[in-house]
Amino acid sequence: MQQRIILITLGVSDLAASRRFYIDGLGWEPVLDIDEIVFLQAGHGLVLGLWPADELRKDVGVDGPQGPHAAMDRMSLAHNVDSEAEVDAALAEAEAAGATILKPGQRADFGGYHGYFADPDGFRWEIAYNPGLTIAADGKVRIGPVVP
């Protein structure tokens, strides 16, 4: 697995309030801003995602009441790769290194392919293949529709 983070997703309690704070208040530039989620350019090739906390918990596969590590239920780091096979390989590599697989590689609602693991401290990582995500040489991230 390459040493990089492409996306940090925050599970927010009020998406509209977070949208106003980051876009209107701080002036951050959205890469994609739709009803369900907001992606903001956060650095060279780095995106900050704002997504309702309950949706993030469902996507990771966290069920039931929040436990002692509730803050971890509201955040994930993402590592994007170039194919579905690379998703499965990265998940296997993480598991061999001591990670717990939370969600094996599978088709994603956004049209790509993804899975999740937790590191030994419980921090959650999404490994994703998203053919609609590109990073230009200047670091500008673009997220477009995934065409089947």
The verdict on residue 1 lying in a domain is no
Return the SS3 of 36. coil
The verdict on residue 2 lying in a domain is no
The verdict on residue 107 lying in a domain is yes
Q: What is the pLDDT of residues 2-47, one digit of tens each?
A: 888 999 999 999 999 999 999 999 899 899 999 999 999 998 999 9
Return the SS3 of 98. coil
Domain holding 33: CATH number? 3.10.180.10
Could you list the residue range(s) of the whole structural domain that residue 57 is in? Answer: 7-143
How many folded domains does the chain comprise?
1
Between the two ends of the chain, the Cα-to-Cα distance in Å is 26
Contacts for 128-132 with beta carbons within 8 Å, 24 or more apart?
128/78, 128/79, 128/80, 128/81, 128/87, 129/80, 129/81, 129/82, 129/83, 129/84, 129/86, 129/87, 130/80
Q: What is the pTM of this model?
A: 0.80
